[in-house]
Structure 1
């Protein structure tokens, strides 16, 4: 395929083009260099970029904040950054819906919704991502009766591989809608999205330390002990933290801020200790116990606007793996993970994060047709330095597969299309829709070829 240069483009596209652009995800674990990166601000510009890609037979991938800790967004052809497509298109307070351009960040959406007395019903831990990004990977928060963020989508518009603007909803192109609510970027460029929201609300969150074996023994009670529940388990210990949040009309209560404890120790000293532990991994259990005893044994009580309470600090770059399993299988899976860590003499970082998501009907959602527990494991990269993780990941994934696990699409994982087809009964339907809207594979990349196209060899992408 001939290389395309910016000087070959018309003036409109040339103004938004960057040649030989190097993309790196937030975790700094994957990187790629594309021929041209475009930064459109209108749907018409997206259409022109796709027409250009068709002319020169170039693959396209879209990216926003780059928070996916995998190579899902990578391409050696064209890349499109949609951050400039971030406008508000419509607010309907009567129906509690909002329509926005798909490149809007969650941070900006929260501010807009707050101005109109509205809010998203549930959120994950961060809000740096674009709307298109959280939809494309079925990003989730936690709450036994709350679905992933894709379940909030009422309708959306995509530019498909032939340059058409296609709107889809439960009643208009319903198969495309069922596929596009977790599309992996494989169906086209999402340009606008309508979301179901609700009147703004405050959350009261209470975080307390617990013994982990007690939490496992009372699993169902813990899962349903609040509207939103998450658990952080500290490997190498029997300690965990349970965070519970419920809607409230109580006045705001903000926790006392202590920079030295929260940032000085909780971030800077912790990162220094983890870096030192790269040379002496045997220090890691002691670091975990010290951090738990110093920071995480303190009960925390906060009442604030919902989107502020949902947010947590992800600290510094990290390797992350996260799978979804039926929540009734979770206690046994966690016991097996604990046993492996101890018997294999692994030294792993805390926390193991445990969250709960209601079932949905989105074809590629990890929560498709089942109530789900997400279990996420982590190995930090202090100061961007590598740490060993592959043995941990291999055993963790084996345990997750044993218990019916489905990997989070945004994360790097080792599942082939054949493996995933057994987990996702609608994967074939998704591929049929993909073939109709993108028969030439314009929106495919190495990640998608590895994980959703049958018959392709599984070659794991190399992390940095």
Structure 2
């Protein structure tokens, strides 16, 4: 009897015929051969932190979490080579011990390196593209068991496509990414009227090394956070800051439970149990300042827009959210990033603004996400591949200028759809041979 597998958020589940846990590349090759002989599709999974069915399969599910470990840190080349199933938390720790760091990172570190690459994971900062943009080389096992090495010189086209591939080209087993000397950041919180923030959005976006803003739709002010590089020492007690942020996550989780009693409960709880407010400023190591534990399970939606389009999109969202009447206890989050050149990167070809909404796990909040998705889609947004969305190939293809570049690479490496599932077929279409066989 097959075993049920579920994503971290419990948003999606499946019953693969086989769940394999390869420990190294040779076992990945063997599992692909076994699946091919059985006529099974294959999907690879790391931490399962996607909020959709991206990795679900009724064939073979490759759990890559045991294919982990840092292989080499090269300070002279400013790179680190790491196995694909390594968590970002483990990578950050190893780099810190070696006096190195990722130049940018998102808030969640339980994700694996390959999962973060495949789905377009990112942090914030106009000088920084998505995490996948740091990859300078990777190793990929394709559908026929061939191991392909690619880097910026030997096979730049494959590298561009494989950096953000949704797992559609093969199983990534090893990645080399750029790193920098370890650094510290000063976190400076602030508050300003939302309209003022939107009026000067471009200027605000470039006002610090890393910026973010959060906004609760029933308020007129937004909270901001700026992270500036500094030579100052880390403050005593700075390591407690992420834990205090986790307390805020718990507060939001409680407000989500209270919302079952009525739509107005979210505002009531938020006003009765005011959110944690960080001190005016503190200094910590970069990877500690970027991230914090998230103990409460949730659903999330995020879309990438042209940076200049964020103000109009958020203004329209303000009206739509207030009319909808059901508020999430989690604030709308705005971040920014540099352009990327991976064909399926949500940040492809443009300076980008990211708009994220997190909600409690309940059916009524799924309706809220769908409404938000509709508004953002009308502003030319591209969905985060790992978060909740309903986009299809017909919607997505016009939004990606190099869509056909990726399609050709997919047709070459996986013509029979070994790495395709129903979700991926909706997003990218079926491979040519699968279409021909219908």
Q: Could you say which TM-score interval applies, normalised by the shorter chain?
A: over 0.9
Cα drift, residue 308 of structure 1: 0.5
| 1:370-449 equivalence runs, <5 A | 370-381=350-361, 386-449=362-425
Q: Is the 8 A contact 1:117 1:199 kept in 2?
A: yes
Counterpart among 327, 331, 334 of residue 347 in structure 1: 327
Cα gap change, 1:176 to 1:264, in 2 (>3 Å): closer
Cα drift, residue 305 of structure 1: 1.0
Q: Give structure 1 stretches of 5+ with no counterpart.
A: 1-18, 457-464
Which residue of structure 2 aligns with residue 338 of structure 1? 318
Cα gap change, 1:269 to 1:304, in 2 (>3 Å): closer
Cα drift, residue 208 of structure 1: 2.2
Q: Is the 8 A contact 2:258 2:266 kept in 1?
A: no
| SS, match of residue 91 in structure 1 | strand
- 2:245 and 2:73 map into 1 onto residues whose CA distance is 38
Structure 1 residues 231-263: Cα deviation after superposition (integer angstroms, max 9, x where no partner): 11112111321111011110111457989x948
Counterpart among 105, 115, 119 of residue 101 in structure 2: 119
Which residue of structure 1 aligns with residue 200 of structure 2? 218
- 1:258 and 1:120 map into 2 onto residues whose CA distance is 21
- 1:245 and 1:168 map into 2 onto residues whose CA distance is 34
Which residue of structure 2 aligns with residue 169 of structure 1? 151
Structure 1 residues 47-67: Cα deviation after superposition (integer angstroms, max 9, x where no partner): 111111111110001111111
- 2:265 and 2:253 map into 1 onto residues whose CA distance is 13
Which residue of structure 1 aligns with residue 436 of structure 2? none
Which residue of structure 2 aligns with residue 240 of structure 1? 222
| SS, match of residue 264 in structure 2 | helix
Q: For structure 1, which segment, 314-323 or 177-186, has the greater mean C-alpha deviation from structure 2 after superposition?
A: 314-323
| 1:11-90 equivalence runs, <5 A | 20-90=2-72
Cα gap change, 1:96 to 1:71, in 2 (>3 Å): same
| SS, match of residue 449 in structure 1 | helix
Matched, 1:105 2:87: yes
Q: Is the 8 A contact 2:301 2:369 kept in 1?
A: yes
| SS, match of residue 103 in structure 2 | coil
- 1:450 and 1:306 map into 2 onto residues whose CA distance is 38
Which residue of structure 1 aligns with residue 127 of structure 2? 145
TM-score if structure 1 supplies the norm length?
0.88
Counterpart among 237, 241, 248 of residue 266 in structure 1: 248
Cα gap change, 1:258 to 1:451, in 2 (>3 Å): closer
Q: Is the 8 A contact 2:263 2:325 kept in 1?
A: no
Cα drift, residue 389 of structure 1: 2.3
- 1:388 and 1:251 map into 2 onto residues whose CA distance is 46
| 1:186-205 equivalence runs, <5 A | 186-205=168-187
Cα drift, residue 264 of structure 1: 9.7
Cα gap change, 1:264 to 1:304, in 2 (>3 Å): closer
Q: Is the 8 A contact 1:253 1:301 kept in 2?
A: no
RMSD (Å) for aligned C-alpha atoms: 2.1
| SS, match of residue 408 in structure 2 | helix
Q: Is the 8 A contact 2:305 2:380 kept in 1?
A: yes
Aligned residues: 431
